Structure 1
Amino acid sequence: MNLIIKLLCGILIGILMGMFAPDMIVRVMITAKFLVSQLIKFTIPLLILFYVTSGIANLPKNSGKLLGQTVGLAYLSTLGAGIFAFMVAESLFPALLSGAGQLPEAKTILTPFLELKIPPIMNIMTALAVAFIFGVGISSTSSEHLKKISDHGCDIIELFLNKVIIPALPFYIAGIFADMTVKGTVFATLHTFSLVLLAVIAMHWFWLAFQFVIAGIIQQQSPVNILRTMMPAYLTAIGTMSSAATIPVTLQQTKRNGVSNTIANFVVPLCANIHMSGSVISIASVAVAVIIMTGAGPVPSLLEALPFIVMLGITMVAAPGAPGGAVMASVGLLGSMLGFTEEMIALQIVLHLAQDSFGTACNVAGDGVIALLIDKLSDTQEDLMPVEEVI
């Protein structure tokens, strides 16, 4: 609850500062936001490298099966979310946007006083690839030396997260919301297209409800209690707009839902990069809105749009876990498969970023569900193993 209060205070302070504080004060907040974001971007590949490596290395011999199950569930959730969102948008948005106008232009952008860049030692996909190779290799060769290195790396990264990154998150969030308020883009967009954005957020919540009900039935727990435990991660993601930056909180709350350390350490960092159900809901539904608003032609049917949704789910694996990463990764598909012009793509980006935080929050909360399901599958498989194999 202390973390939730701090995050909400950061959001409120950021909005108030953006509205009333002098530009110099806002630039100080934006500078702090920039520096914290650089630390986060530097740390996340290391977190993924050590956590995923350690997670795979500490798994039993069925780690390959566990990896396949995690990727499969994450993709099914992402694909199902995209199909659901497109069907709802295709039915709802034509009437909702019949008299919509164009978006207002953004205000002047303030820059930080100091841009001290801290390049990560590797990108996220490289970290994932290295983690898979070494994790599976350590598990196969039973290399205790390398296993200790990965475990100690986890301990060091966890210490840094708990002592530096998580305490800095409220300041980071305050800077983000101050920057958004000064730009005016988000609030103007919400004012002009509030019904569309509310519809998209409602889709997020419907999909989350569906996921948590399924998890509650399988775990034989109250879906409300499971969702309540994941709320700190959800609220953190609203502020950071980054699944990767929210990993520490997601990991903490997933474990509090009863997921074992081994499964949580493996599934959560992995799903932060491959499970994008909320982002796909946003992209698919906003794409329909852009087509209608620009008069680019009739909205494609679900059958016509299905190849786009299928490829979108795959493309999301390459999306960086940073604000706006998902929509940037989808730009190529929007142009090549839906025929979006530069103007349409720009409109897509603006509308997507207006609610990107809620899409990211949907992704993050869903990661906890994936971890619960994988944990349950692992328990079931252990129960079904022959006694000799267990011994």
Structure 2
Amino acid sequence: MGLTKKIVLAMIAGIGLGLLFNVLNSSQILGETLTSFINNYLTNGLFDIVGRIFIASLKLMVVPLVLVSLICGACALSEGSRVGVLAGKTLALYMLTTAVAISLALLLALVIQPGAGMEHLAGNAQFEAKQSPPLSDVLVNIFPTNPVQAMAEGNMLQIIVFALLLGYAISRSGKPGQRVAAFFNDLNDVILRMVGVLMAFAPYGVFALLANKIALLGLDAIPTLAKYFSVVLLALMVHALGVYPLLLKLLSGLNPVQLLKKMRPAMAFAFSTASSAATIPVTLQTVEKRLGVDNKVASFTVPLGATINMDGTAIMQGVATVFISQLYGIEIGLMGYLTVILTATLASVGTAGVPGVGLIMLAMVLGQVGLPVEGIAIVMGVDRLLDMVRTAVNITGDAVVSSVVAKSEGALDVSTFNDENYNSVVDQGDGRSTIA
């Protein structure tokens, strides 16, 4: 059995066991002793430990993989001007998909009206919004003063800037640069091999993560917010299975079904971890080895996407804005909705890398259109579960943008992308192979 099937089966088994534990806990039919055993030794014990170790292992790989891979990619760009073109295309596409995502969310929410008849929920809502950083600080903080500190803190935008500068300098340094480039290329192969080794343990990590998370989520909030939950979920599905395939077909002519099939392992990882950053090693491997995107493109687009591409979060913001406006009976009008689209699109880039970024962005959007930020407290009950889905949507968007940019730059191996009988590096655990 290939690793993809193992991961999918582990994901289904983890969700099933987590739901079973959740039901058993709430019903108390097993008695106090067995319930305590399940909670203390399985859910909060074994599954929690295995899941946290797996997440830590993934995060361990993120900084060295992004740094080394991006340096190698920058070295491979023969013309320095291509870095600017690549960055421009990537940023424009990420902002386009985010604008489309929030527009779609607003449209569906206005048609379905998830907040209608739910006014009673607004009474006891309390939420303290964190202050969003000034735009000037955000722009300045993109550039590292200490690259070692940026790597220690996992500040992806600063790592990207440092890696691009170093890669560009290496490519312009003649023979010394060639020797340094050879070292980083060898180091890149070693790191990819480490990722391959880690992938062998992926099904166990995915199972433990989901069993723990679903068991602890407490699904009792879903019936109360079922309409809101359903609209966000519908918008996420339409965006992932409708908007992304359409953009891929229109902008590159590639087969969207192939991309969705080959992204299944990465989507399973993203769903189970609920973290685009932690999924970077898997996303990068999948985009390069399964989709045929050249490292010089993928090493830039994937880490950047994991940092600033927040289509899933934008969808949540769009639906939440309409939901909260209906909850409090405040009509914000057409200009208000246009303001939401603009604010959320720009904020997806401007607040990248800030802790609790989704809630900060939502508080910022609500503040711009005069809605009470206390409404966020109401939707937080189901947000953790939706976060898992929107993370899978986000990394799918990263793969789509990577493929489109790579095709436009002549850096996509189309035969690899279209290969039906693929046995990718993710399945084989062989991190040493490279794209032709």
- TM class by shorter chain equals 0.7 to 0.9
Look up the match of 1:98.
117
Match of 2:186 among 152, 168, 175: 152
Instruction: Give the equivalent residue in structure 2 for 1:25.
Output: 42
Moved more, 45-54 or 324-333: 324-333
Percentage of matched positions with identical amino acids: 23
Aligned counterparts of 2:200 and 2:346: Cα–Cα separation in 1 = 31
Q: Distance in 1 between matches of 2:119 and 2:391?
A: 26
CA distance, structure 2, for counterparts of residue 316 and residue 351 of structure 1: 21
Pairing 1:237–2:255 present: no
Matched, 1:48 2:48: no
Q: Deviations over 1:147-195 (max 9, x none)?
A: 23433343333223222366246425533442342341xx223222223
TM-score, normalised via structure 1 length: 0.80
Residue 153 of structure 2: which of 122, 128, 143 is its match? Answer: 122
Task: Indicate if the aligned counterparts of 1:240 and 1:357 stay in contact, CA closer than 8 A.
Answer: yes
Give 1:92 shift: 2.3
State the alpha-carbon separation in 2 of the partners of residues 357 and 179 from structure 1: 10
SS in 2 for 1:213: helix
Q: Is the 8 A contact 2:66 2:299 kept in 1?
A: no
Secondary structure of residue in 2 paired with 1:379:
coil
Q: Distance in 2 between matches of 1:244 and 1:284?
A: 23
Q: 1:210 to 1:155 in 2, by over 3 A?
A: same
In structure 2, how many angstroms separate the alpha carbons of the residues matched to 1:130 and 1:166?
Answer: 32
Q: Is the 8 A contact 2:71 2:164 kept in 1?
A: yes
Change in CA separation of 1:76 and 1:139 when aligned onto 2, cut-off 3 Å: farther
With over 3 angstroms needed to count, the CA separation of the structure-2 counterparts of 1:167 and 1:380, relative to structure 1, is closer
Does the 8 Å contact 2:63/2:151 carry over to 1? yes
- Range 278-287 or range 18-27, more displaced: 18-27
Query: Equivalences for 1:1-391 in 2 at 5 Å?
Result: 1-20=5-24, 21-28=38-45, 29-61=47-79, 62-93=82-113, 97-99=116-118, 102=121, 121-124=152-155, 125-141=157-173, 143-164=177-198, 167-168=201-202, 170-172=204-206, 174-184=208-218, 187-208=219-240, 209-255=242-288, 256-293=290-327, 295=328, 297-317=329-349, 318-320=351-353, 325-334=356-365, 336-341=367-372, 343-379=374-410
Farther-moved stretch of structure 1 (216-225 vs 129-138): 216-225
CA RMSD of aligned residues (A): 3.1
* Cα contact 2:19–2:215 (8 A) shared by 1: yes
In structure 1, distance between residues paired with 2:369 and 2:204? 39
What do the CA deviations read for 1:300-329 (whole angstroms, capped 9, x no partner)? Answer: 2342233343232233234449xx944234
Amino acid of the structure 1 residue aligned with 2:380: I
CA distance in 1, matches of 2:200, 2:316: 27
Inter-CA distance 177–302: structure 2 relative to 1 (3 Å threshold) = farther
Tell me the amino acid that sits aligned with residue 37 of structure 1: I
Paired with 2:347 and 2:366, the residues of 1 have a C-alpha distance of: 14
Say whether the 8 Å CA contact 1:237–1:246 is kept in structure 2: yes
Superposition deviation, residue 141 in structure 1: 3.8
Question: 1:343: how far off?
Answer: 2.9
In the alignment, residue 130 of structure 1 is paired with which amino acid? F
CA separation of 1:40 and 1:230: change in aligned 2, threshold 3 A = closer
> How much does 1:68 deviate?
1.4
Mind listing any 5+ residue stretches in structure 2 that lack a counterpart? Answer: 25-37, 125-149, 413-436
Give the distance between the partners of 1:289 and 1:241, measured in 2 at CA: 23
**Distance change >3 Å, CA 11–CA 147, structure 1 → 2:** farther
What's the TM-score, normalizing by structure 2?
0.73
Q: Which has the larger radius of gyration?
A: 2
Secondary structure of the equivalent of 1:355?
Answer: helix
User: Is the contact made by 2:266 and 2:286 (CA closer than 8 Å) also made in structure 1?
Assistant: yes
- Structure 1: 5+ residue runs without aligned partners? 106-118, 382-391
Structure 1 counterpart of 2:284, which letter? L
Cα distance change on mapping 1:290 and 1:156 into 2, 3 Å: farther
Q: What's the CA shift for 1:216?
A: 2.7
Find the aligned partners of 1:359 and 1:327 in 2 and give their Cα distance: 11
Asked whether the equivalents of residues 87 and 302 of structure 1 are also in contact (C-alpha less than 8 Å), the reply is no
CA distance in 2, matches of 1:5, 1:154: 31
